[in-house]
Structure 1
Amino acid sequence: MCTLSKKDLQRIFQKLDKNGDGLVSLEELNWLLETIGLLQFSLQELESLVGKPCLNLEEFLFFYDSISSNQNEQHVKVGNNVVDEEIKEEEEEESDLVKAFKVFDLNGDGFISCEELQKVLSRLGLWDESCGKDCRSMICFYDTNLDGMVDFEEFKNMMLHTIS
């Protein structure tokens, strides 16, 4: 799972806190988790996990840290043999990348357009409407086949910071 900076998480929290009371409800948190394709819980399961009906910023940051560390645990066994951690890590990384790609590929055509990227970043509170050129240049920078969109391999290279 790609880690987010504290600043990014604060912006996401502020976007989720629609009434400005400094709290994010479980409904809002559940919407975020479903939107990014990370986890799917019923509200009862989420409340049981979180232990309260709303989270303040510090609790939200703690929750993010806890689900991030849970996603990165490497304790997997097949029968009596421990799976090679490096292979398991690559499989999990690929699976996380596929899920992340699907979040951005809004129309499901296998490509991320500038418009799709902008919509998702806007939903997450990571987009400033005055930065239209940045989205296009971001796509162009990672668009190695020059088709004006980012396919999965280009997305994967972008997320792993290994442009070929």
Structure 2
Amino acid sequence: METQTPTSKHSPLLKSCSNGSFRLRSPSLNSLRLRRIFDLFDSNHDSFITIEEITRALTLLGLDANASDLDTMIKSYVHPGNVGLTYEDFVTLHRSINDLFFGMDDVEEAVGSKEEQEEGDLNEAFKVFDENGDGFISAAELQLVLGKLGFTEAIEMGRVKMMISSVDLNHDGCVDFSEFKDMMRVLQ
């Protein structure tokens, strides 16, 4: 298996189909957010994430995962007798990937301010929802992303519109980056 140096911008396991970058690390990614990610990947809600569940989730997010490399990496974090990763295993895996692939970025980014890092992370998150790149998240775009992630809220457009209106401060029917930032900071 070919290894990559920590300065590499792309993991050999994960490749973005849309914008060429996928970062698992974020300075503002707290345990609540990591738990939400775990719960999203745990599609059968058995408190374990299997290789199949991770592969399916990454595919739904538009990421191409090398199944063999993914299997090898993840198995080393699964405790004997378990069918997959527990939440604690998932946290350990997350930290290891962060250290391996983004450790040098942390040194380089330490020069920049924490606010700049947070702004960049929020911008990347916003782009996930802004499917057409117009600078706004519409109800249709939110519905599409929620559907890809398997949220039942995606079935009813009325619920999606309520989600939009709850953060749409200027009442234009869309969420702009400023509104998205405000919403994310409240969730932290």
Does structure 1 residue 117 correspond to structure 2 residue 150?
no
Contact 2:154–2:160 (8 Å) recurs in 1: no
Tell me the secondary structure at the aligned position of residue 14 of structure 1.
coil
1:45 equivalent in structure 2: 69
**Does 2:171 correspond to 1:146?**
yes
Question: Which sections of structure 1, spanning at least 5 residues, go unmatched?
Answer: none
TM-score scaled by structure 1?
0.63
Distance in 1 between residues matched to 2:83 and 2:35, nearest whole Å: 10
Q: Does 1:4 align with 2:4?
A: no
CA distance in 2, matches of 1:60, 1:100: 25
TM-superposed deviation, 1:8: 6.8
Identity among equivalent positions (%) equals 31
The question of 1:65 aligning with 2:94 is answered: no
Q: Which runs of 5+ in 2 are unaligned?
A: 1-25
2:161 aligned with 1:136: yes
- The 1:36/1:129 distance shift into structure 2, 3 A limit, reads closer
Name the CA distance, whole Å, in 1 between partners of 2:72 and 2:37. Answer: 26
By how many angstroms is 1:69 displaced? 4.0
SS at match of 1:96: helix
CA deviation after TM superposition for structure 1 residue 159, in Å: 0.7
Q: What is the alpha-carbon distance in structure 2 between the residues aligned to residue 100 and residue 58 of structure 1? A: 27
Aligned CA RMSD, in angstroms, stands at 4.0
Q: Does 1:77 align with 2:102?
A: no
For the Cα contact (< 8 Å) 1:12–1:126, is it kept in 2? no
Superposed, 1:98-113 pairs within 5 Å as 98-113=123-138
Change (3 A) 1:123 1:40: closer
What residue is the counterpart of 2:14 in the other structure? Answer: none
| 1:111–1:149 contact (8 Å) kept in structure 2 | yes
Whole-Å separation in 2 of the counterparts to 1:30 and 1:150: 30
CA contact (8 A) 2:55 2:65 kept: yes
TM-score norm. by structure 2 comes to 0.57
Q: Mark the CA change 1:132 to 1:113 in structure 2 (over 3 Å): closer, same or farther.
A: same
Q: Quick one: distance in 2 between partners of 1:25 and 1:158?
A: 32
